[in-house]
Amino acid sequence: MYKGIFWCYLTCFDDDMFGVTVLPVKVKCDLSGSALEDAEFSSKSGDNFNHEIEWEKRKDSERICRRHPYNYYPRGRVEIKNGKIKIFANPVIMEEPDAMESIINAFELEEVKDNVSWIADGSKHYCFAVDAMSGAFLDDEDD
């Protein structure tokens, strides 16, 4: 299982096929939330990641990070502490069952998904710039 942060958006494969894409920044951890591998945490608390900082780090390797600011897509956080798993996310993510399932898969939480608490956070912290499920076209290669 992993904890960390993520962004969520639709990827358009062609005119009528879409898939949910989750862009995670994660670290393997145990159920207490202790990291099981080396990680350079960037959050203020020092035990997770910061969206803005991690987006900037990925500009060289992730095309979508070069095209838009960190708050362009809806985002969230997976917290694992003291045996509890909480996923905080912009509410639009929770309107899409495929998005929720993609997050569970990305963070390898399948075995504990019935114990996950989903927390809709519509605060300014998780606001975003565009419609939550605006498509990012795979064939849109110009940078």
How far is it, in rounded angstroms, from Cα 123 to Cα 104? 22
Mean pLDDT of 56-62: 87
pLDDT confidence tier of residue 81, bands split at 50, 70 and 90: very high
DSSP assignment string, 23-71: EEEEEEB-TT--BSS-----STTSSS--HHHHHHHTTTT-HHHHHS-TT
Q: Residues near 91 by Cβ (< 8 Å), separated by ≥ 6?
A: 120, 121, 122
**Measured on CA atoms in the order 42, 45, 49, 51, is the torsion positive or negative?**
negative
Is the sign of the CA dihedral 134, 135, 140, 141 positive or negative?
Answer: positive
pLDDT at 78: 97
Q: What is the pTM of this model?
A: 0.84
pLDDT band at 140 (very low <50, low <70, confident <90, very high): very low
Between 36 and 13, the more confident residue is 36
| Structure confidence at residue 6 (pLDDT) | 96
Mean pLDDT in the chain?
85
Question: How many degrees, rounded to 5, is the angle at CA 116 between CA 77 and CA 69?
Answer: 15
Percent of the chain with pLDDT over 90: 54
Does pLDDT of 142 surpass 70? no
Q: Poorest-confidence range of 27-41, 56-70, 98-112?
A: 56-70
- In this predicted structure, the answer to whether residue 68 has a pLDDT above a threshold of 60 is yes
β-strand partners of 28:
2
- Give dist(CA 52, CA 100) in Å, integer: 22
